[in-house]
């Protein structure tokens, strides 16, 4: 029997409640998933028979890539949910969310979602109800599972009790429900619904500190990183909570040494934001100049942290407002609680460095902390006192004046483990819990301490000598039960950093035996380096299961690398070989001048020519026109420390110099339209490599260290692929999109958004844009050139091998010309390359000197630099235990406006 219903004739609001009372099952094909799926049916679902289950299949705007893995699907569903639910929950919605939470957690309501791309929009709405007596009926119509759908809109509905009709609808439901693309609703959605149902707003920062014990979750769980992105991962929350707790207890002192792509910036910045809210003093962030704007953008976009960056003359806030230029004294008057300053100002030893060092801070954050080092390093300096460079000396001065110091470096040891000691010695300024008092063995005998940690020396057998190493600093009781009992026996609280030498005599025999047992593992498992240096590797996070979810802490993302073998190196064309010779001849002519070093010129020319023929051509053209060459098209801290050759030093050119440069330019102009690298890029995009399929279909980012190369390649690819939009992602205002060879400027945020939605799948980028660029949607990466600073190579890789990547494997092709400088260095490194990567997680910056040495034909020096890189782990920085941190269920939240107001107060 078929019955027809129209909301014009009678409202449909009672349709479901009347028919679901006592029902044994309800299968529903609905529209988009939202909290409104139970807005009308909620009470009726409660009236269903005990043990009855309602199943709903919904649409979702999830991209098919979002459901490539279960983890990716859950992340995407959570994002979509958060976008549709206001953080400020009105009372009516609060009740509905509580009901939804109860239904989902009890299992009485099961929801699966289908990406739109599978069947398009689910406009066909239908349902099957199994009554208490086992009979069934179905309905088909336009009504969605929402309050407007059943009570407000004009809707048509037909019901059918025939077996044929019911079976037909049930078959449709099962086809959608059992589709391989259908995914279970993420637990995080139910969890967030329950949290929002009980949400309480803390309106004042002082109230958060006093009445809510300054809970970090309250200040974090509704930040954009949670509501618009993928949230925070277990290892990130663990570090933030640990650092904030240490700050409140007296001061946090850590080196965050996580591998590239594991979210160091967010961890440091959120910890610093919580510290700024808790205290009253300024926060200072020191970062390389190319990264200042990206630090500022990420802090504001992800963490709602208003901050200002210093451009060398004045402050610029997160809205782009430029403050008055009143000289260097203006540096003291940052308009925000958090100020971001270039490390270049410190490395130069400027007046700005002295001014900052005289201030007091709540927290100081230093990115790329390995740049703070002693000058006298290496085997000939093993027993000398440290001769600190300007950055290390600045840290020594400012650390006693800041409550917390957070240092970041994926490679805290570049050449010698003593570098780690120098960083810890800085952390310990004014804080004896790091390396102990000024009389501790760890401070006065650093080399011996490192030998004990590295296992080069056996632990002392004498109990008195062991006690001297262990007591100062005395590990906190939380580290091990034996330490806790020793502190208890000596009545030393965790707030006391060290024990006295004579305390050994106070220990009873059982405690002395405990001390002896602890000594066997102390240097390997409880030494000061492990406490202060936090390093999580991608391998550990990918291979270790989270005990709460029984899933890896991180979805494994493996790298399949191409271009590493000699056969895969790009053949060097005769024309380019001749150009290299012309460049050498030009540098030789310049070298005839007094007091002119040609090493800088040689490396610049070779780097640019090795990138693309066009980049080399433009460089030669500029030099002929009187323009000085630069090592980079975009800002780099190196420019702060070592000024490039000045134009006046080379011009006017001599007749011989101009002749060689003109010969070079003509060679490069001849070959500019037939660049072998561009041909290889096109082949990879259209055909792939090693059976991988076309890389364009997986999405591709192509990196170069030079803007000239990135612009030229993007234009070439756009002409070759006129139907494919090609994005240019670079620093400043250079970014945009090519369509059929026509360039249109486009904001970088819009480019990133279009990459996320799949509207852009081909991007050419520069190194200045590589840090902070998250392109998890793309699955392949091509390095058009190999940067001579190895850290940049890792930063490029980190754009796609990072948290949130939906694929289990990404593809990377490293391009270099055979017999070029890059190729010769690669051959020197090849036997140790993987071992160094495994050890550090990335290549030490010091290897850049090997490239320069080879460019200057000093292979012996290059071999010495490579050999100096440590071949064994400097110490085991073990963080193989991540304490569960549950922020997602936190219902008490610190008001966003209150946070912003507090953080907009200036220095």
Question: Is omega for the bond preceding 473 within 30 degrees of 0, making it cis?
Answer: yes
pLDDT confidence band for 637 (50 / 70 / 90): very low
Comparing C-alpha atoms, which of 111, 108, 99, 275 is closest to residue 186? 111
Beta strands (DSSP E) in 107-227 are: 109-115, 125-130, 136-141, 156-160, 183-184, 200-202
Q: What is the mean pLDDT of the chain?
A: 84
Q: Is the pLDDT of residue 560 over 60?
A: yes
pLDDT for res 882: 78
For 65-129, the three-class secondary structure string (H helix, E strand, C coil) is HHHCCHHHHHHHHHHHHHHHCCCCCCHHHHHHHHHHHHHHHHCCEEEEEEEHHHHCCCCCEEEEE
The percentage of residues in the chain with a pLDDT greater than 90, rounded to a whole number, is: 42
**DSSP, residue by residue, 390-444:** HHHHHHHHHGGGEEEEEEE-S-S-SS-THHHHHHHHHHTTT-HHHH-STTSHHHH
CA distance 395 to 357: 8
Evaluate whether 26 touches 55 at the Cβ level (below 8 Å).
yes
pLDDT at 169: 96
Question: 527 CB contacts (<8 Å, ≥6 apart)?
Answer: 449, 452, 453, 875
Residue 835 has pLDDT above 60, yes or no: no
**In which residue are the tokens 């704007």 written?**
293
**Helix, strand, coil share of the chain (percent; to 5):** 45, 15, 40
Instruction: Tell me the three state secondary structure of residue 694.
Output: coil
Predicted confidence (pLDDT) per residue in 420-458, tens digit: 899 999 999 989 999 999 999 999 999 999 889 888 889
Give the separation between CA 148 and CA 833, rounded to whole angstroms.
62
pLDDT the model gives residue 705: 86
pLDDT at 403 over 70: yes
Judge residue 144's burial from the number of C-beta atoms within 10 Å of its C-beta, 0-12 exposed, 13-18 middle, 19 or more buried.
buried
- Give CA–CA dist 706/716, Å, rounded: 16
Tell me the average pLDDT across 859-880.
63
- Give the C-alpha separation, 52 to 550, whole Å: 29
Tens of pLDDT along 334-386?
A: 999 999 999 999 998 889 999 999 999 999 999 989 889 898 876 556 667 88
Write down the pLDDT at residue 425.
95
Phi-psi region of 437 (alpha: psi -120 to 50; beta: other; left: phi over 0): beta
Instruction: Tell me how far apart the alpha carbons of residues 56 and 858 are, in angstroms, rounded to a whole number.
Output: 70
- Output the pLDDT for position 799: 65
Contact 533, 406 (CB under 8 A): no
799 neighbors 725 (Cβ within 8 angstroms)? no
Mean pLDDT for 774-784 is 81
| Separation between Cα atoms, residue 789 and residue 852, nearest integer Å | 10
Of the listed ranges 74-83, 150-159, 814-823, 898-907, the least confidently predicted one is: 74-83
Q: Rounded to the nearest 10 degrees, how much is the dihedral formed by the CA atoms of 615, 620, 626, 631? A: 50
3-state secondary structure of 291: helix
| Letter string b/e over residues 790-805, b meaning 16 or more CB atoms within 10 A of that residue's CB | bbbbbbbbbbbbbbbb
Please spell the DSSP secondary structure of 532-595, one letter per residue.
HEE---HHHHHHSEETTTTEESS---EEEEES-STTTSBP--HHHHHHHHHHHHHHHHHTTSTT
Q: Which of 192-196, 833-837, 888-892 has the highest average model confidence (pLDDT)?
A: 888-892
- The three-state DSSP-derived secondary structure of 255-290 is EECCCCCCCHHHHHHHHHHHHHHHCCCCEEEEECHH
**Burial annotation 654-681 (CB, 10 A radius, 16+ → b, else e):** eeebbebbebbbebbeebbeebbbbebb
Which of 579, 542, 540 has its CA nearest to residue 557?
542
Place of tokens 């207890």: 249
- 341 three-class SS: strand
31, 115, 169, 171 from 175: Cα distances, Å: 16, 14, 10, 6
For 693-748, what is each residue's pLDDT tens digit? 999 998 999 999 889 999 999 999 999 999 999 999 887 678 999 999 999 999 88
Q: What is the pLDDT of residue 769?
A: 54
Mean pLDDT, residues 123-146: 89
Residue 174, pLDDT above cutoff 90:
yes
Q: Which residues contact 475 (CB under 8 A, 6 or more apart)?
A: 483, 526, 531
Mean pLDDT of 894-903: 96
pLDDT tens, position by position, 662-676 = 999 999 998 888 899
Share of the chain above pLDDT 70, in %: 84
Rounded Cα distance between 348 and 634, Å, is 19
Which residues pair with residue 695 across a beta bridge? none
Structure tokens at 828: 């020197």
Question: Is-contact 186 74, C-beta < 8 A?
Answer: yes
Q: Report the candidate in 256, 412, 436, 448 with the shortest Cα–Cα distance to residue 874.
A: 412
pTM above 0.85, yes or no: no
Q: What is the distance in angstroms between the CA of the first residue and the CA of the last residue of the chain? A: 77
Residue among 224, 319, 314, 228 nearest 269 (CA): 224
- Is the pLDDT at 768 greater than 80? The verdict is no
CA distances to 356, 366, 390 from 332, rounded to whole Å, are 8, 18, 20
- Mean pLDDT of the region 642-666: 73
The whole-angstrom separation of Cα 615 and Cα 708 is 5
Torsion of CA 623, 626, 632, 638, to 10 degrees: 120
Residue 769 half-sphere exposure, CB side, CA atoms within 13 Å?
A: 29
Pairing of strands 736-739, 726-729: antiparallel
């Amino acid at each position: 029997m078929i019955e027809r219903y129209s909301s014009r004739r009678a409202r449909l609001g009672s349709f479901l409640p009347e028919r679901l009372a006592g029902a044994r099952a309800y299968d529903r094909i609905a529209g988009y998933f939202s909290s409104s799926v139970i807005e009308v049916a909620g009470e009726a679902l409660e009236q269903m028979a005990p043990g009855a289950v309602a199943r709903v299949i919904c649409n979702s705007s999830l991209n098919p890539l979002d459901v490539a893995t279960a983890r990716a699907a859950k992340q995407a569903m959570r994002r979509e949910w958060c976008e549709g639910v206001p953080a400020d929950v009105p009372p009516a919605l609060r009740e509905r969310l509580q009901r939804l939470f109860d239904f989902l957690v009890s299992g009485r309501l099961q929801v699966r979602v289908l990406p739109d791309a599978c069947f398009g929009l689910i406009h066909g709405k239908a349902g099957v109800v199994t009554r208490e007596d086992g009979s069934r009926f179905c309905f088909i119509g336009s009504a969605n599972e929402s309050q407007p759908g059943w009570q407000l809109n004009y809707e048509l509905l037909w019901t059918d009790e025939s077996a044929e009709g019911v079976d037909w609808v049930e078959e449709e439901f099962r086809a959608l429900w059992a589709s391989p693309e259908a995914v279970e609703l993420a637990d995080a959605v139910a969890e967030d619904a329950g949290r929002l149902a009980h949400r309480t707003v803390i309106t004042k920062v002082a109230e958060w500190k006093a009445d809510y014990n300054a809970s970090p979750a309250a200040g974090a769980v509704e930040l954009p990183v949670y509501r618009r992105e993928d949230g925070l991962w277990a290892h990130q929350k663990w570090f933030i909570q640990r650092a904030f707790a240490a700050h409140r207890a007296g001061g946090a002192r850590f080196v965050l040494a996580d591998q590239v792509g594991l979210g160091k910036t967010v961890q440091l910045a959120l910890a610093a934001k919580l510290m700024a809210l808790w205290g009253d003093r300024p926060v200072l962030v020191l970062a390389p100049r190319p990264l200042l704007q990206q630090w500022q953008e990420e802090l504001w976009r992800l963490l709602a942290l208003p901050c200002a960056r210093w451009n060398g003359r004045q402050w610029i806030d997160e809205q782009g407002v430029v403050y008055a230029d009143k000289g260097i004294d203006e540096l003291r008057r940052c308009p925000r609680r958090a100020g971001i300053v270039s490390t270049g100002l410190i490395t130069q030893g400027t007046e700005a460095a002295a001014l900052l060092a005289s201030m007091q801070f709540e927290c100081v954050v230093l990115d790329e902390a390995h740049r703070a080092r002693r000058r006298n390093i290496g085997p000939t300096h093993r027993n000398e006192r440290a001769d600190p460079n300007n950055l290390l000396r600045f840290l020594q001065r400012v650390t006693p004046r800041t409550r917390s110091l957070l240092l970041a470096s994926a490679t805290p040891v570049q050449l010698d483990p003593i570098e780690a000691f120098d960083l810890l010695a800085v952390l310990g300024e004014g804080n004896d819990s790091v390396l102990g008092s000024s009389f501790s063995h760890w401070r006065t005998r650093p080399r011996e301490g490192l030998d004990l940690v590295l296992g080069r020396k056996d632990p002392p057998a004498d109990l008195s000598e062991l006690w001297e190493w262990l007591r100062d600093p005395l590990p906190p009781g939380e580290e091990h039960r034996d330490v806790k009992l020793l502190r208890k026996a000596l009545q030393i609280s965790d707030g006391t950093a060290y024990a006295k030498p004579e305390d050994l005599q106070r220990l009873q025999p059982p405690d002395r035996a405990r001390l002896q047992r602890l000594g066997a593992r102390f240097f390997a498992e409880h030494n000061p380096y492990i406490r202060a240096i936090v390093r999580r590797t991608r391998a550990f996070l990918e291979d270790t299961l989270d005990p709460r979810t029984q899933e890896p802490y991180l979805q494994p993302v493996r790298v399949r690398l191409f271009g590493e073998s000699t056969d895969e190196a790009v053949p060097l064309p005769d024309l380019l070989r001749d150009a290299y010779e012309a460049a050498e001849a030009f540098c030789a002519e310049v070298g005839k001048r007094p007091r002119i070093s040609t090493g800088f010129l040689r490396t610049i020319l070779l780097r640019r020519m090795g990138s693309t023929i066009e980049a080399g051509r433009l460089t030669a053209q500029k030099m002929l026109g009187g323009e000085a060459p630069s090592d980079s098209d975009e800002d780099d801290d190196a420019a702060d420390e070592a000024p490039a050759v000045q134009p006046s030093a080379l011009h006017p050119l001599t007749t011989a110099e101009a002749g060689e440069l003109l010969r070079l330019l003509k060679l490069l102009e001849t070959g500019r339209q037939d660049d072998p690298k561009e041909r290889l890029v096109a082949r990879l995009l259209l055909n792939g490599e090693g059976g991988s399929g076309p890389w364009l279909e997986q999405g591709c980012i192509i990196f170069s260290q030079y803007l000239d190369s990135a612009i030229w390649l993007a234009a070439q690819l756009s002409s070759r692929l006129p139907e494919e939009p090609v994005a240019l992602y670079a620093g400043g205002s250079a970014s945009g999109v090519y369509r059929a060879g026509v360039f249109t400027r486009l904001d970088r945020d819009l480019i990133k958004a279009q990459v996320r939605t799949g509207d852009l799948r081909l991007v050419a980028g520069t190194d200045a844009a590589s840090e902070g660029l998250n392109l998890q949607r793309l699955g392949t990466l091509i390095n058009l050139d190999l940067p001579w600073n190895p850290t940049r190579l890792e930063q490029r890789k980190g754009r796609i091998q990072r948290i949130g990547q939906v694929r289990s494997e990404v593809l990377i092709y490293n391009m270099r010309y055979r017999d070029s400088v890059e190729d010769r260095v690669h051959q020197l490194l090849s036997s140790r390359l993987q071992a160094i990567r495994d050890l550090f997680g990335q290549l030490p910056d010091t290897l850049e000197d090997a490239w320069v040495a080879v460019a200057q034909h000093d292979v012996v020096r290059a071999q010495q630099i490579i050999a100096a890189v440590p071949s064994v782990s400097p110490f085991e920085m073990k963080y193989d235990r991540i304490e569960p941190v549950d922020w997602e269920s936190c219902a008490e939240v610190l008001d966003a406006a209150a946070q912003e107001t507090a953080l907009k107060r200036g220095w």
